[in-house]
């Protein structure tokens, strides 16, 4: 059961998107998110959607995988869509008690659904095409300027690396403990929500104890390998901006500019 | 031969608040010397202090009284801590808990990165280390997908990449299946024979201890006996008294000797055992006096 949860679902490949520097991927994703919420009419939204599809096709990963990334939040999309339906101005199309569906509401709902869907899929591009190590490495470099505000950037990045490394280990362990408790007669599948949560206590306590033991071992192993808090640390892999990054940035900037431009010349619908 | 590690009258207790009655000490006056290039096995049953001792070799633990010297440097010397840790690497028991990064090669590079080795040099060392342990083709894999023996070899590669003079292995095979155990042990002996790295193997498998040049037996925080495998395992009586096993082949020959057969004092492995038994059978055939199967 626990095995089904996947995190940091990196899918190795050799596409141009895979070969991009994680830093440019993160920065472009952030800009992308800002731009998608600036879209105010159908032309700009269509342009943005086409751009998203282009990125997804470029990764060479099956479209099915992207649909799977939506599975987790499908309810969020539907519910926000429905809520937006009743929120807006314009011609009243249908009236149910105090709820009114207006043309503005329909546009709102449509925009929200499209925005969240392509946003999720493009975010999935980042996690699918970037290995966890590259991702944390990229974040560490990007956050480097924050060290002047005494933010412990290196520690945060190391914590992320270790967390990602130990998630599968701890999942496996949880599975083992659950089976061990079931073998002793623990009942975890029946009863209401509260009873089930309570039934998890005999799983969580051994899990915590063993995590501390693991942490102790890991600290020792790190000390054995001369870990000293990242002082004078060198790197095996040095991140470098390449021509692909330059090309990707130029293309993105042009498209973002076009989106903002169409936004201003066409009539906004929401 | 050069003395590489010197342990002088070391006492150690985990909880220093406890009163100094001798029972609270995990190590009670350990003395030993380990020479450069040696392959030493330290054996002992649980609680004999062998793992505690292992952590003294690279100054993870510091003796309460007494001193440990590595290459002439006292492990209490805080300024030269990294010098010590760089020359003595430690591999722990649980392979899962000592891998830091989510990609094999990144993990192997971890030690070098901490030492501030230049980028190109790290790449070279990581590739060499992975080739040495035979894990090069797995360099871009995630450690979760590897078997226990493979993970342990990755952990060893992480130490080798730091180019230590000595590797201490604290029960590296305790959590592995026979296949994994074989992989790890053959890697260790190759490191010793081909690269001249000093190996200190802490184990409770006597079959592994036999492969060493020297066996040190520990019991309740003290060194019980120290010698070549042949010297140590010929003292079957004494080892049994301290709840320690001897290799199966050794035990068989020992028991047969007890029944009055003419056999060598000590055999260490199956081949020697077979040889000894075969020559015994040959003699008996010539003498035609005893039928072995009667007494067996």
Q: Could you state, in order of their start, the residue ranges of all structural domains in chain B?
A: 3-101+162-234, 249-295
Average pLDDT over residues A34-51: 90
What is the Cα A129 distance to its own chain's centre?
Answer: 12
Token readout for A238 is 């040095």
Q: Using beta carbons and an 8 Å cutoff, which residues of B are at the interface with A?
A: 55, 58, 60, 82, 85-86, 89-90, 92, 94, 96-103, 105-106, 109-119, 122-123, 126, 140, 142-144, 155, 158-159, 162
pLDDT of A180 above 60: yes
Tell me which residue in A217, A223, A226 faces B97 most closely, judged by beta carbons: A217
In chain B, which residues have their Cβ closer than 8 Å to the Cβ of A155? none
Looking at CA atoms only, how far is residue B11 from chain A in angstroms? 21
Of B9, B57, B3, the residue nearest B33 (C-alpha): B3
Token readout for A250 is 């130029």
Of all residues in chain A, the one with the smallest CA distance to B162 is: A225
Q: How confident is the model at residue B153, as a pLDDT?
A: 92
Looking at CA atoms only, how far is residue A263 from chain B in angstroms? 43
Q: Alpha-carbon distance A17 to B90, whole Å?
A: 40
Q: Does some domain include residue A27?
A: yes
Q: Does some domain include residue A186?
A: no
- Contact (CB<8Å) B112/A236: yes
Q: How confident is the model at residue B245, as a pLDDT?
A: 79
In chain A, which residues have their Cβ closer than 8 Å to the Cβ of B98? 217-218, 220-221
Residue B88, CB-side half-sphere exposure with 13 Å CA sphere: 27
Of all residues in chain B, the one with the smallest CA distance to A237 is: B119
Q: Alpha-carbon distance A116 to B148, whole Å?
A: 42
Q: Does some domain include residue A71?
A: yes
In sign, the C-alpha dihedral spanning A16, A21, A26, A28 is negative
Q: Do the Cβ atoms of B178 and B184 come closer than 8 Å?
A: no
Q: Is the minimum CB–CB distance between A14 and chain B shorter than 8 Å?
A: no
Q: Do the Cβ atoms of A188 and A172 come closer than 8 Å?
A: no
Q: Which residues of A63-73 are buried (b: 16+ CB within 10 A; e: fewer)?
A: eeebeebeeee
- Contact (CB<8Å) B97/A168: no
Average pLDDT over residues A40-60: 90
Q: Do the Cβ atoms of B286 and B279 come closer than 8 Å?
A: no
- Contact (CB<8Å) A214/B115: no
Q: How confident is the model at residue B17, as a pLDDT?
A: 66
- Contact (CB<8Å) B140/A161: no
Tell me which residue in A12, A165, A237 faces B100 most closely, judged by beta carbons: A165
A226: left (phi over 0), alpha (psi -120 to 50) or beta: left
β-bridge mates for residue B3, sequence order: B35
Tell me how many domains chain A contains. 1
- Contact (CB<8Å) B115/A226: yes
Stretches where chain B sits below pLDDT 50 are 292-296
Q: Does some domain include residue A195?
A: no
Q: How confident is the model at residue B214, as a pLDDT?
A: 93
Mean pLDDT of chain A: 86
ipTM score over 0.90, yes or no? no
Picking from A225, A233, A239 by the largest number of B CB atoms within 10 A of its own CB, the best residue to mutate is A225
Token readout for B49 is 């202090």
pLDDT of A76 above 60: yes
Looking at CA atoms only, how far is residue B31 from chain A in angstroms? 23
Angle between helices B119-132 and B148-160 (to 10 degrees): 140
- Contact (CB<8Å) B92/A221: yes
pLDDT of A4 above 50: no
First to last CA, chain A: 43
Tell me the helices (H) and strands (E) count for chain B, helix number first. Answer: 12, 10
In chain A, which residues have their Cβ closer than 8 Å to the Cβ of B82? 226, 228
CATH architecture of B3-101+162-234: 3-Layer(aba) Sandwich (3.40)
Residue contacts between A and B (CB atoms, under 8 Å): 102
Q: Do the Cβ atoms of B281 and B292 come closer than 8 Å?
A: yes
Find residues 152-211 of chain A whose CB sits inside 8 Å of chain B: 161-162, 164-165, 168-169
Q: Alpha-carbon distance A8 to A31, whole Å?
A: 22
Q: Phi and psi dihedrals of A15, rounded to 5?
A: -70, 165
Picking from B114, B119, B159 by the largest number of A CB atoms within 10 A of its own CB, the best residue to mutate is B114
Burial class (CB in 10 A: 0-12, 13-18, 19+), A97: exposed
pLDDT digits (tens, 9 = 90+) for A191-217: 788 888 888 888 999 999 999 999 999
In chain A, which residues have their Cβ closer than 8 Å to the Cβ of B113? 233-236
Burial class (CB in 10 A: 0-12, 13-18, 19+), A264: exposed
Q: How confident is the model at residue A212, as a pLDDT?
A: 94
Of A96, A55, A62, A39, the residue nearest A268 (C-alpha): A39
Looking at CA atoms only, how far is residue B30 from chain A in angstroms? 22
Q: How confident is the model at residue A96, as a pLDDT?
A: 75
Token readout for A114 is 């499209």
Tell me which residue in B86, B102, B119 faces A226 most closely, judged by beta carbons: B86
β-bridge mates for residue A102, sequence order: A92
What residues make up the domain containing A11? 2-155+238-265
β-bridge mates for residue B33, sequence order: B6
Token readout for B254 is 């020992």
Of all residues in chain A, the one with the smallest CA distance to B117 is: A234
List the B3-12 sheet strands across, edge first: B27-35, B3-12, B65-70, B73-74
In chain B, which residues have their Cβ closer than 8 Å to the Cβ of A131? 102-103
What is the β-pairing status of strands B222-227 and B73-74?
A: unpaired
Token readout for A209 is 């104890």
Q: What's the whole-model pTM score?
A: 0.80
pLDDT band at residue A2, thresholds of 50, 70 and 90? very low
Q: How confident is the model at residue A3, as a pLDDT?
A: 46
pLDDT of A7 above 90: no
Q: How confident is the model at residue A246, as a pLDDT?
A: 92
Q: How confident is the model at residue B21, as a pLDDT?
A: 63
Q: How confident is the model at residue B174, as a pLDDT?
A: 87
In chain B, which residues have their Cβ closer than 8 Å to the Cβ of A222? 100, 110
Of all residues in chain A, the one with the smallest CA distance to B127 is: A236
- Contact (CB<8Å) B119/A224: no
């Amino acid at each position: 059961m626990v095995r089904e949860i996947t995190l940091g679902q990196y899918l190795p490949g050799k596409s141009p998107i895979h070969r991009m520097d994680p830093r440019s991927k993160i920065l472009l994703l952030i800009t992308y998110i800002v731009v998608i919420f600036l879209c105010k009419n159908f032309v700009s939204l269509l342009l943005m959607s086409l751009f998203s599809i282009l990125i997804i096709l470029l990764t060479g990963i099956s479209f099915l995988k992207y649909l799977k990334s939506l599975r987790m939040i499908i309810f969020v999309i539907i519910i926000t869509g429905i809520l937006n339906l009743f929120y807006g101005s314009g011609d009243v199309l249908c009236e149910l008690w105090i709820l009114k569906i207006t043309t503005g509401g329909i546009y709102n709902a449509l925009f929200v659904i499209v925005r969240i869907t392509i946003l999720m899929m493009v975010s999935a591009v980042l996690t699918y095409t970037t290995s966890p190590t590259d991702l944390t490495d990229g974040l560490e470099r990007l956050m480097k300027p924050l060290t002047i505000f005494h933010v412990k950037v290196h520690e945060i990045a190391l914590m992320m690396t270790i967390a990602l490394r130990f998630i599968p280990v701890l999942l496996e362990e949880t599975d083992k403990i659950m089976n061990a408790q079931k073998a002793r007669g623990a009942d975890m599948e029946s009863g209401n929500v509260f009873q089930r949560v309570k039934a998890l206590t005999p799983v969580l306590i051994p899990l915590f104890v063993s995590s501390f033991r693991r942490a102790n071992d890991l600290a020792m192993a790190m000390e054995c390998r001369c870990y000293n808090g990242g002082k004078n640390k060198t790197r095996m892999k040095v991140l470098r901006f390449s021509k692909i990054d330059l090309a990707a940035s130029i293309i993105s900037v042009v498209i973002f500019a076009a989106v903002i431009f169409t936004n201003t010349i066409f009539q906004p619908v929401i | 031969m050069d003395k590489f590690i010197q342990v002088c009258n070391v006492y150690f207790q985990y909880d220093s608040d406890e009163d100094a009655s001798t029972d609270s000490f995990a190590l009670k006056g350990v003395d030993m010397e380990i020479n450069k290039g040696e392959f030493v096995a330290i054996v002992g049953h649980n609680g004999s202090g062998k793992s505690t001792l292992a952590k003294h070799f690279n100054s993870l633990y510091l003796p309460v009284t007494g001193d440990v010297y590595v290459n002439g440097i006292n492990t209490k010397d805080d300024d030269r801590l990294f010098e010590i840790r760089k020359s003595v690497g430690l591999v722990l028991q649980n392979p899962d808990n000592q891998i830091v990064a989510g990609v094999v090669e990144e993990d192997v590079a971890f030690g070098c990165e901490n030492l501030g080795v230049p980028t190109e040099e790290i790449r070279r060392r990581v590739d060499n280390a992975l080739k040495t342990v035979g894990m090069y083709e797995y360099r871009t894999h995630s450690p979760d997908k590897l078997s226990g023996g493979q993970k342990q070899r990755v952990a060893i590669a992480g130490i080798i990449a730091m180019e230590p003079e000595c590797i201490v292995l604290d029960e590296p095979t305790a959590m592995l299946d026979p296949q994994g155990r074989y992989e790890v042990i053959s890697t260790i002996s190759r490191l010793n024979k081909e690269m001249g790295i000093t190996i200190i193997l802490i184990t409770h498998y006597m079959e592994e201890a036999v492969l060493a040049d020297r066996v040190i037996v520990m019991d309740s925080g003290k060194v019980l006996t120290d010698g070549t495998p042949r010297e140590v395992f010929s003292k079957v009586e004494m080892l049994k008294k301290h709840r320690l096993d001897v290799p199966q082949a050794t035990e068989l020959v020992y028991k047969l000797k007890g029944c009055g057969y003419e056999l060598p004092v000590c055999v260490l492995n199956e081949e020697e055992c077979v040889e000894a038994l075969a020559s015994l059978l040959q003699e008996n055939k010539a003498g035609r006096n005893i039928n072995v199967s009667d007494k067996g």
